Amino acid sequence: MKERQKMHFKSKNPEETVEYIQYILKQHQIEVEEEWKDESLANTYSLRLSIKNTNIGTNGKGLTKGYARASAYAEFLERFQNNLLSIYPRTRLSEDNIYYSYDEKLMEVKDVIEDNNELIKKLFKDRNIENANFDEKSDLLLRLHKAEYMLTKRQNIFITVPFYSKRKKGVNYLPYNIYASMYGSNGMCAGNTPQEAIIQGLSEIIERYVQKKIIQGQYSLPDIPIQYIEKFPEIYVRYKKLKSIEGFSFFLKDCSLGGKYPVAALVIVENNSGYFGVKLGCHPDFGVAMERALTEAAQGGNITDYCRRSKLDFSNNFVDNEVNITNTFKTGRGQYPYSLFKKEKSFEFIPVRDVSEMNDQSVLDYMINEVIGEEYDILIRDVSYLNFPSFHIIIPNMSEMGSGDNKGFDLVAGMTLVEYLINNPGEINEKNCPILLYVLYTVSRMDLNSSLSVLSGTLLHNDMIPGEEFNLGWLYMVVLCYVYQNNYEKASEKMNLFEDICSGRGVKIKPFFRAVNYYITGMLEMKSHEKTIEYLKLFFEEEICQKLDNIFCNPADVFKKSYIYHDVRIKEDCVKRGCCDYHLYQDLIRLMKKAQLKNMIQQERVGSYLCEIS
């Protein structure tokens, strides 16, 4: 192994990285705590790094404890400096007349159109209106603007922030809420140097891009020859150990699509079950690409658990669905085409370029010019406000987390309404209840989006949301929607599903939820609240029956009696109840805005990292 490979292509050893980031956190009085997981069967390590006494934080993984720790701390600053450490920052105007960042610009719709960046071009081209008149383009942008308008109440004003455009060799302004909805955290990155960070961000983008191509193209992947894996001893010894685990089959696959993309995959098959898991990893060095596939599959649990992410399905149901593909991006959970395992491979194994003796600048040039190519513009935003190199990279037509169609933006607007309703349950009414149901059903299929704590936008604690302790807060709210609508047949169907899911997970359901299920069945058959409660008193404790009586005696009141009214403007109430982490998170956002003010970044400097500006 070359020296660069021994250092995992990092410019500093992991202890130095952690020490520097800890210094930054201490400067800003941010206390964090580490929660380590057991060493995995692949001899890899992972941990959760969180703000002390909260769930706000990031995960780290690596072949050693040192690299896992550095991974967690670097990702913490990556997300923190990008203002996405936890919830999507649907924020309102601050006391300094700032929404998101001190370099933001408020632009009218005509200015957004005239900026003519590659993101705006994509929005128009995808809808076949690139040659349309101003009014048609304006109408589209204002439709996509609905969620932002609900927050700002400014009809024709878009909040935009600057990105450096590689193609333009200058700055473009992207509408914040539009790009955030389409790209999420994809392409966010951090590293010891700007080049190291940007390589990391491009690698994440390419990994997901290739993953989508494999699913949509229904490719069959060749094995990476064992003689090639032996060139990377740290990977070889772990792969050999995995191959010896009984009851499972492990494969390292070449996802380069003919030697172009430095992407590898670990495929885990649970024997005699039909279950399997696929985890891709990308890095210009193929050894690090394989390493990432291993460490991410083992992150937070046993690596053999990862095989339960997918199931063999010869009908290929749901495979090409956008939600399915996005779920594979986020958690690896989703359906892959059965052709993945076809004997005849879609291409032969071809080694990707050896970068082991190249410096970061040369590696970055290779990634940009040979792997990505001139077909795409690369938009990069420097957010290194705390002086740890961090960026957000967007590559239109490559790095989208979703299609960005009108339906997707309508869902974002609906989620903005639902955010308000979760915090103001007494405001749920006949008009908005169907919208609430639509959003809950839609996000229930989206990994990491169905949590009511996340949907609340205010970091409500799980114990404040019934059903959330089982990750089924959304489903219990669906049940209550049907009770509110006096549709006890649907309510019964969904409450049975609630119990079935808990049972399938081996989770013991609380007596209260079982009583709710019986209550709904009683109402379905007898249509009498009083009679149903009388029967239940024979089977459940008085406290449970009193709670049922109070919540369900009037269907119009089920929401305000089941959920707390959560006005985050009254900080004293939140502190007294201990109901959320909202105010702590807002303190972090204010801290970051102060850092922005002290360290105003001119995005043109990104060009110097790409060797375009001396």
Predicted confidence (pLDDT) per residue in 237-293, tens digit: 999 999 999 999 999 999 999 999 999 999 999 999 999 999 999 999 999 999 999
Q: What is the mean pLDDT of the chain?
A: 95
Is residue 215 within 8 A of residue 337, CB to CB? The reply is: yes
- How far from 612 is each of 169, 170, 192, 362, 391, CA to CA, in Å? 8, 10, 21, 13, 17
How buried is 97 (Cβ within 10 angstroms: 0-12 exposed, 13-18 middle, 19+ buried)? exposed
pLDDT digits (tens, 9 = 90+) for 46-102: 999 999 999 899 999 999 999 999 999 999 999 999 999 987 666 677 777 889 999
Identify the pLDDT of residue 461.
Answer: 94
Q: Which residues pair with 157 in a beta bridge?
A: 108
446 — pLDDT class (breaks 50, 70, 90): very high
Helix (H, G, I), strand (E, B) or coil at 160: strand
Q: What does the chain come to in residues? A: 614
Structure tokens at 418: 């639902």
pLDDT digits (tens, 9 = 90+) for 186-224: 999 999 999 999 999 999 999 999 999 999 999 999 999
**Strands 390-394, 170-175: pairing kind:** unpaired
Q: Tokens 């703000």 identify what position?
A: 51
Cα(606)–Cα(391) distance, rounded to whole angstroms?
Answer: 10
Structure tokens at 38: 């057991």
Cα(103)–Cα(171) distance, rounded to whole angstroms?
Answer: 12
Q: For residue 371, how many C-alpha atoms fall within 13 Å in the half-sphere facing its CB?
A: 31
Mean pLDDT of the 426-454 span = 94
Cα(338)–Cα(340) distance, rounded to whole angstroms?
Answer: 5
Residue-wise over 109-135: b if at least 16 C-beta within 10 A, else e?
beebbebebbbbebbbeeeeeeeeeee
Neighbours of 557 (CB within 10 A): 15
Looking at beta carbons, which pairs linking 469-474 to residues 24 or more positions away fall under 8 Å? 470/498, 470/501, 470/502, 470/505, 470/507, 470/509, 472/498, 472/501, 472/502, 474/440, 474/443, 474/444, 474/450
Identify the pLDDT of residue 90.
Answer: 66
Q: For residue 239, how many C-alpha atoms fall within 13 Å in the half-sphere facing its CB?
A: 26
385 — pLDDT class (breaks 50, 70, 90): very high
Give the closest residue to 360 by CA, choosing from 204, 196, 190. Answer: 196
Q: Tokens 């450490």 identify what position?
A: 85
Q: Could you give the percent of the chain with pLDDT greater than 70? A: 99
Is residue 573 within 8 A of residue 567, CB to CB? The reply is: yes
Evaluated on CA atoms 328, 300, 286, 194, the torsion sign reads: positive
Give the closest residue to 602 by CA, choosing from 80, 163, 176, 192. Answer: 163
Structure tokens at 501: 């899911």
Cα(522)–Cα(531) distance, rounded to whole angstroms?
Answer: 8
Q: Could you give the percent of the chain with pLDDT greater than 90? A: 92
Identify the pLDDT of residue 614.
Answer: 40
Evaluated on CA atoms 158, 160, 166, 169, the torsion sign reads: positive
Is residue 405 within 8 A of residue 126, CB to CB? The reply is: yes
pLDDT at 172 over 90: yes
Identify the pLDDT of residue 449.
Answer: 86
pTM beyond cutoff 0.75: yes
| Alpha helix stretches (DSSP H) within 145-225 | 146-152, 176-183, 194-217
Domains of the chain, earliest start first? 3-83 (3.30.160.20), 105-188 (no CATH), 194-394 (no CATH), 425-562 (no CATH)
Largest CA distance in the chain: 81
303 — pLDDT class (breaks 50, 70, 90): very high
Cα(425)–Cα(562) distance, rounded to whole angstroms?
Answer: 8
Looking at beta carbons, which pairs linking 431-439 to residues 24 or more positions away fall under 8 Å? 433/481, 433/484, 433/485, 436/477, 436/481, 437/478, 437/481, 438/414, 439/411, 439/414, 439/415
Structure tokens at 96: 């300094």
Q: Tokens 């019964």 identify what position?
A: 492
Identify the pLDDT of residue 611.
Answer: 85
Identify the pLDDT of residue 88.
Answer: 67
* Phi-psi domain of 157 (left: phi exceeds 0; alpha: psi -120 through 50; beta: other): beta
Helix (H, G, I), strand (E, B) or coil at 201: helix
Identify the pLDDT of residue 451.
Answer: 92
